Amino acid sequence: VKIRSLDGPSMQSEREPVAGAVVTMSCSIMLLLYFFYDGFVYVLIATFGLGAGTGLYSCLAPLARRLPPQLSPRPPAGPRACPRLPLLLLAGLCAAVTAAWVAHHNEDRWAWLLQDALGVAYCLFVLRRVRLPTLKNCASFLLALLAFDVFFVFITPLLTRTGESIMVEVASGPVDSSSHERLPMVLRVPRLSFSALTLCDQPFSILGFGDIVVPGFLVAYCHRFDVQIQSRQVYFVACTAAYAVGLLVTFVAMVLMQMGQPALLYLVSSTLLTSLAVAACRQELTLFWTGQARAKTPAQPVAGLHDAPSFGSEQKQEETADVHTAGAPAPALTPEPVSPCSCGFCFTLPVSILRAWVESRWHLSEVPRASSRHLNARGKQDTACVRT
């Protein structure tokens, strides 16, 4: 996993208005689709085809690069070197799959499988290219789009003449549309309903790409934070499980209320609150909020202690190791202390200091006693020599 350092003040100031710009662009696209659906839907179909083909290639390219040398001969290197043959074949395959979807995207029986596969590749491509550096950016971005989703699902029915939600009408396609095209930026899954009506028009449950990508930014941030603090994927697993629970609650609410639901209302709430709760339990809330975590590295011994003489005994080696630990430089200061459950350094350092202090006092008390005994023995020998 490649982690980019984006903690500088210039980077932070550039990303502050991102949430407002994204919400403004989303509102503009939604209104254009509502008033000019028949013309603007083709722009989105072309955009989705280009992005989905690129995303599918980016997902499959690492597999093509790992092919054995016998199956992927390399062209001679030079100023006009061309890509390897498997990558060229992969690019042609992705273009063919995208063209097949564009030609048959209105087919209800099997085209939804192709659209879902391309949609997943497109979402992965976006999550791979766009990264939010801090939880502050993630929270502001998610909450702004949460407000956008709730407004266009629950508030717009009060403002339209038909009483329909703008979000639901745009996602499912207007009834009076002359083009009969459907919005491609959704995942479509057929409903398991057995009736005579499904023979003519099979109903689908849809999930917008925004309901996948927007919480996915937080899931990706949790994964990068786990890598930075060298944990066992605690934040990533908790956030992913919270997303699954939020998605289940969304479908349950849709079945009970018999109307479209703003999925971000449940997904953002579950993922964001769960991530904050995990950070609070691990006493890493400030680090998690600012994204300025540092990997835990073992303490380095003092350079001057490497030249100390060795006495050969195991007890002396243990004492020297304890003195090295006690004299090691303190780690970098962080806004929050490291959780005791994740690192034993908080307990070993005071014990090592206390042990080194007690042993040093014991050695200092033993030295005068040994010196006095040695002087007494030397005095007795001198007295015996004088007498002789």
Taking a C-beta distance cutoff of 8 angstroms, is the pair 295, 238 a contact? no
Q: What is the C-alpha separation between 86 and 71, in angstroms, rounded? A: 8
Taking a C-beta distance cutoff of 8 angstroms, is the pair 152, 30 a contact? yes
User: Could you tell me how many residues make up the chain?
Assistant: 388
Would you tell me how many other CB atoms lie within 10 Å of the CB of residue 308? 12
Would you tell me how many other CB atoms lie within 10 Å of the CB of residue 50? 12
Give DSSP secondary structure letters for 333-363: P-SSPPPTTT-SHHHHHHHHHHHHHHHHHHH
Give DSSP secondary structure letters for 185-226: SEEEEE----SGGGGTS--EEEEETHHHHHHHHHHHHHHHHH
**Active site (catalytic) residues:** 149, 211
DSSP letter assigned to residue 330:
P
Taking a C-beta distance cutoff of 8 angstroms, is the pair 114, 121 a contact? no
